[in-house]
Chains A and B, each alone.
Chain A
Amino acid sequence: GAVVSQHPSRVICKSGTSVKIECRSLDFQATTMFWYRQFPKQSLMLMATSNEGSKATYEQGVEKDKFLINHASLTLSTLTVTSAHPEDSSFYICSAPTGSNYGYTFGSGTRLTVV
């Protein structure tokens, strides 16, 4: 089945630094990637939608200059959290539609802690 590999699974960074999260589609071409953020004990909230070769679409309230999304190829989408602050600590997870009815495959998620 369609697999999205997400790395890193956990990262701890210092406040003010940047962190890059990668999602790779291993056996299919992901023209679209959804990026979600999940705070503890809360739901998944869509941050942005990336499409290969074009600019990402950000949801209202999400700072595009802070959360840089790049989707330069059909198999790789990245989310860079720039100048991270403790309030950016969260669980970030990507998801790609695979074309079938229930074809959304999720990455395994990245737990980001900013200290």
Chain B
Amino acid sequence: AQKITQTQPGMFVQEKEAVTLDCTYDTSDPSYGLFWYKQPSSGEMIFLIYQGSYDQQNATEGRYSLNFQKARKSANLVISASQLGDSAMYFCAMREGESGAGSYQLTFGKGTKLSVIP
């Protein structure tokens, strides 16, 4: 079974509108972390936002917020007020295990290509 599922291969959003990118995950580890990265055409991985499994509140970073629904195992990314520069691939990723307690790799979803329309 896939550990990270992103069901939207591509999404379009009008400039200045909000958009939600879906991510569901599967783990039996009580300690885990969820990440969202942006990958523009240059290939660099840009960290956007992080949510820990024990965090009580949804994470927010500027225009990015993470809608964390633990019981449903979903961690959707919400981008508010979309900008043309937001056009890129977006990857959801998971680290199983506690941070700092060892070196755990990230497992990535297949990604969603977001296109912002002027």
A30-56 contacts to B, CB under 8 A, are 31-32, 34, 38, 42-46, 49, 51
Q: Is A106 an interface residue (CB 8 A)?
A: yes
Contact of A108 among B33, B43, B52, B106 (CB under 8 A): B43
Top 6 A-B residue pairs of the complex, sorted by shortest distance between their CB atoms: A102-B50, A32-B103, A106-B45, A109-B43, A44-B108, A43-B108
Range for the number of chain B residues in contact with chain A: 20 to 34
Interchain CB contact (< 8 A) of B103 among A31, A44, A46, A108:
A31
Determine if B100 is an interface residue (Cβ-Cβ < 8 Å): yes
Most-contacted residue by chain B among A42, A46, A102, A109 (CB, 10 A): A102
CB pair A108–B44 under 8 Å, yes or no, is yes
Q: A42-B110, A101-B50, A101-B52 are in contact. Are A95 and B103 (CB under 8 A)?
A: no
Chain B residue numbers with a CB within 8 Å of A91 are 43
- Does A8 sit within 8 A of B, measured CB to CB? no
- Show 30 A/B contacts (Cβ-Cβ < 8 Å), sorted by A: A31-B103, A32-B103, A34-B105, A34-B106, A42-B110, A43-B91, A43-B109, A43-B111, A44-B45, A44-B91, A44-B106, A44-B108, A46-B105, A46-B106, A49-B105, A51-B103, A91-B43, A93-B45, A95-B45, A95-B106, A99-B100, A100-B100, A101-B33, A101-B100, A102-B35, A102-B47, A102-B50, A104-B35, A104-B47, A106-B44
CA distance A34 to B95 in the complex (A): 13
How many A-B Cβ pairs are below 8 Å?
57
Total chain A interface residues with beta-carbon distance under 8 A: 25
Contacts of B47 in A (CB 8 A): 102, 104
Q: Give A103 to B111 CA distance when docked, in angstroms.
A: 21
For B95, the chain A residues whose CB sits under 8 A away are 104
With A43-B91, A43-B111, A99-B100 as given contacts, are A104 and B44 in contact (CB-CB < 8 Å)? no
Question: Nearest Cβ in chain B — how far from A80, in angstroms?
Answer: 20
